[in-house]
Amino acid sequence: SLLSRKGRGILVAFEGCDRGGKSTQCKMLVDYFKTTGRDVAHFSFPDRTTIIGQSIDSYLQGKSELEDHAVHLLFSANRWEAVPKITQLIERGTSVIMDRYAFSGVAFTAAKKGFDVTWCKYPDRGLPCPDIVFYLEIATKDAMSRASFGNERYEKAEFQERVAKVYKELKSDDWRVVDALRDMNEIHEEIKSTVIKLEDNVKYSELKNLWT
């Protein structure tokens, strides 16, 4: 595909267990991009605003039940429905910062009994591949002590431990593990400098496809 003269945008994903500060760091990075005049867009998965996202939201709040395979596919479909927007933004030079992505999809489903990572990855195979993934690492006991842990489905200590184990299996060279227990400004500085170093390298390269 044609890349604009200023190059494409970069695709950044934030991942990790619940209550690790992903949303805060996402927002801080988006604000940094804005204040430095970079074009940027912010996505969160699940995107609870779409029709698919509304069923996921109801499931997460425990207002409805869904079969485990079925909800896995809904989470994936919720990413695929955003792909036309994401690829268009990236191609036109806008960077996209995502709060959770396919790695969450795999980690949370594979943490359930009777699921394997290979099966879980398949529906997300071919999605735009993030140029970098920041994994905000936090011990379950520290996450649990943070505000409002325990309000939604999956926010239980034993399950989060299982999720963390799957994440470990998914880590690749494009991941940066960030110690999430530190001061949020310190974390932001680290993330910012990593992104700045990466930017020029990826600007004129093609976006890859995930797990292909």
60 binds ligand TMP (CB under 6 A): yes
Short-list 159, 146, 171, CA closest to 60: 159
Q: Which residues are CB-contacts of 55 (< 8 A; sequence separation ≥ 6)?
A: 64, 66, 74
21 binds ligand TMP (CB under 6 A): no
160 binds ligand TMP (CB under 6 A): no
* Contact map string, positions 105 to 144, toward ligand TMP, x by CB under 6 A: x--x------------------------------------
SS3 of residue 147 by DSSP: coil
46 binds ligand TMP (CB under 6 A): yes
Residues 78-107 that bind ligand TMP (CB under 6 A): 100, 104-105
User: In the numeric block, which tokens belong to residue 32?
Assistant: 């940094």
Short-list 130, 129, 98, 116, CA closest to 212: 129
Smallest gap from Cβ 46 to ligand TMP, in A, equals: 5
Residues that bind ligand TMP (CB under 6 A): 18, 45-46, 60, 75, 100, 104-105, 108, 154
Residues that bind Mg ion (CB under 5 A): 18
